[in-house]
Amino acid sequence: MPPQVLASEEAVDSVSVDAVVVAAFKSSDGPSLSADAQKLDDALDGRLSEHLTHTAFKAKVADVTLVPTLGRVQAKTIVVAGLGDKDEAGRNEVMRAAGSAARRLTDRSTIASVLHSDVSDGSAVAGATEGFLLGSYKFTTYKSDPHPSKIERIAMLGGPDTDLIERGVATADATILARDLTNEPADSIFPETLADRAREVADAGGLDFEVLDESQLKERGFGGLIGVGKGSVRPPRFIVMHYKPEGRASQTLAIVGKGITFDSGGLSIKPSGSMETMKTDMGGAAAVIGAMSAMSKLRPQVEVLGVVAAAENMVSGRSIKPGDVIKHYGGGTSEVLNTDAEGRLVLADALVYACERKVDAIVNVATLTGAIMVALGPKATGVFSNNDELRDEVATAAERAGERVWPMPLYDDYRSDIDSEIADIKNTGSRWGGAIKAALFLRNFVAKDVPWAHLDIAGPARNDSAYDEVPKGGSGVATRTLIAWIEGRAS
């Protein structure tokens, strides 16, 4: 059970909890305590600041130190969390610090926090809520002796706006759903079961739901999904979730996810080491389903289509072969030279479909290329777009959401590298600029007049070691960016 987050009017020096979390800021002459931390320091006769000096605590963002109170105040432990420079501390610094603190507190049951109190950013308490919930996440489904987080209650002191807390809970829950889906092994989450999970989300939130099975996909010409999925005993699915607000919506947005539930590479098979993490290849779909799960709680005044192209890329006598030509949904063709460049093939169908639904803008999310990891490293998402305003809008939404998204180019003259002799386009070119060429392939399937952005999350979808609010393993990345983008459009 995720912990309960509530607003409380209790005082920092009298609240009775296992741990009370307070802020410190970085300054030229060592850490400076927030007003609440100062109250505790007074109650401890200056021992708190003494401890910080003694341990050379710097108060950089998400630095955390635990101090036992030995009965001097009601709370058993004081947790000092760094928020960095006071002038720069906002919602996201609070979110990261809360995440870092939560990761240290999963063996405690009750927590109180004033991390948001000394920050001028009005939505800081939403950030704190998100950080605590995301930082205490653990995936324990398959442990015979699980050690789940013991955190039961998190009290936000100072009587903050409960609506902000609820928004933080909604975005954290959405991200946690995406993490759970990503962490599930591919033997448990395959196209059919991913569709089942999406249907549960749609039912719970009152969204319209539609799923196409393999016979419907064949009939309606979804050649990319059929081609990629046909080597597997687990047939592909095309999933559409539809959120409609009450009253008139000013626009309709589409979010589209790559849902390769396992990527073996197909006949262009991956080395076994590269396959170890390929259950993560539905991370884009997880972000889309996660974001859709938050719609009924956040109620933005826009329509949102959540589209997932789900297939398993496997090796068999029925697999798609290098040299085969696919006829995509809508009639465009592509020559498949490398069956491991499969994400773009299923997304091509989905992008044509989204354009056909007459949406005002599309953002797709995909663990698309190893090349983006070479370009940006493991912790950043690349954003490509056929529209500079949309690209900046998505990057700004990511910044608000506390996720790292960096703009990438779509150079027109690179497009000729994926010209095909026999089809409209081929699915790979030379390895240079691989992330750009993958994005150029996608752009080919987007109607010219539809603003579209592509998030390549191959790096951050899975994380090697925990930091801030992000755990090791599936990260649920882009869920929060999608939500922030949708909310930005709605306001």
Q: Is 428 in the site for ligand BES (CB under 6 A)?
A: yes
The interface partner of residue 113, options being ligand BES, Zn ion, Mn ion, none and the CB cut-off 5 to 8 Å by kind, is none
Nearer to ligand BES, 130 or 281 (CB): 281
Residue 201: CB atoms within 10 Å = 23
Asked if 182 contacts 274 with a C-beta cutoff of 8 angstroms, the reply is no
Sole binder of ligand BES in the list 90, 168, 236, 434 (CB under 6 A): 434
Q: Is 67 in the site for ligand BES (CB under 6 A)?
A: no
Sole binder of Zn ion in the list 173, 184, 281, 335 (CB under 5 A): 281
Kindly give the pairing relationship between strand 153-157 and strand 4-8: parallel
344 is catalytic: yes
Long-range contacts for 85-89 (Cβ within 8 Å, ≥24 apart)?
85/25, 85/26, 85/27, 86/25, 86/26, 86/27, 86/32, 86/118, 89/23, 89/25, 89/61, 89/118, 89/119, 89/121
Q: Is 335 in the site for ligand BES (CB under 6 A)?
A: no
The interface partner of residue 428, options being Zn ion, Mn ion, ligand BES, none and the CB cut-off 5 to 8 Å by kind, is ligand BES
Q: Is 369 in the site for ligand BES (CB under 6 A)?
A: yes
Q: How far apart are CA 491 and CA 486, in angstroms?
A: 9
Q: How far apart are CA 166 and CA 240, in angstroms?
A: 26
Q: Which of 270, 357, 379, 404 is catalytic?
A: 270
Asked if 177 contacts 289 with a C-beta cutoff of 8 angstroms, the reply is yes
| Residue 296 Cα to chain centre, angstroms | 18
Q: Is 259 in the site for Zn ion (CB under 5 A)?
A: no
Q: Which of residues 322-351 bind Zn ion (CB under 5 A)?
A: 343
Q: Which residue is nearest to Mn ion (CB)?
A: 340
Q: Is 375 helix (H, G, I), strand (E, B) or coil?
A: helix
Q: Is 338 in the site for ligand BES (CB under 6 A)?
A: yes
Cβ of residue 39: shortest distance to ligand BES, in angstroms?
A: 47
Cβ of residue 337: shortest distance to Mn ion, in angstroms?
A: 13
Cβ of residue 141: shortest distance to ligand BES, in angstroms?
A: 22
Nearer to Mn ion, 72 or 270 (CB): 270
Q: Is 263 in the site for Zn ion (CB under 5 A)?
A: yes
Count of residues near Zn ion by CB under 5 A:
4
Asked if 384 contacts 410 with a C-beta cutoff of 8 angstroms, the reply is yes
Nearer to Mn ion, 89 or 350 (CB): 350
- Interacting stretch for ligand BES, rule CB under 6 A, among 186-194, 341-349, 379-387, 408-416? 341-349
Q: Is 263 in the site for ligand BES (CB under 6 A)?
A: yes
Cβ of residue 98: shortest distance to ligand BES, in angstroms?
A: 28
The interface partner of residue 195, options being Zn ion, Mn ion, ligand BES, none and the CB cut-off 5 to 8 Å by kind, is none
Q: How far apart are CA 310 and CA 41, in angstroms?
A: 55
Q: Which of 39, 96, 344, 391 is catalytic?
A: 344
Q: Which of residues 71-90 bind Zn ion (CB under 5 A)?
A: none
Q: Is 487 in the site for Zn ion (CB under 5 A)?
A: no
Q: How far apart are CA 475 and CA 321, in angstroms?
A: 33
Which residues, 6+ apart, have CB-to-CB distance to 243 below 8 Å? 205, 207, 292, 295, 296, 303, 304, 306
DSSP structure string for 118-158 = T---TTHHHHHHHHHHHHT----TT-SS-------EEEEES
Nearer to Zn ion, 48 or 418 (CB): 418
| Residue 433 Cα to chain centre, angstroms | 24
Q: Calculate helix-pair angle for 191-205, 162-183, nearest 10 degrees.
A: 160
Residue 70 region by backbone torsions, left for phi larger than 0, else alpha for psi between -120 and 50, else beta: left
Catalytic residues, which ones? Answer: 270, 344
Residues at the interface with Zn ion (CB under 5 A) = 260, 263, 281, 343
Binding site for ligand BES (CB under 6 A): 263, 281, 338, 340-343, 367-371, 428, 434, 458
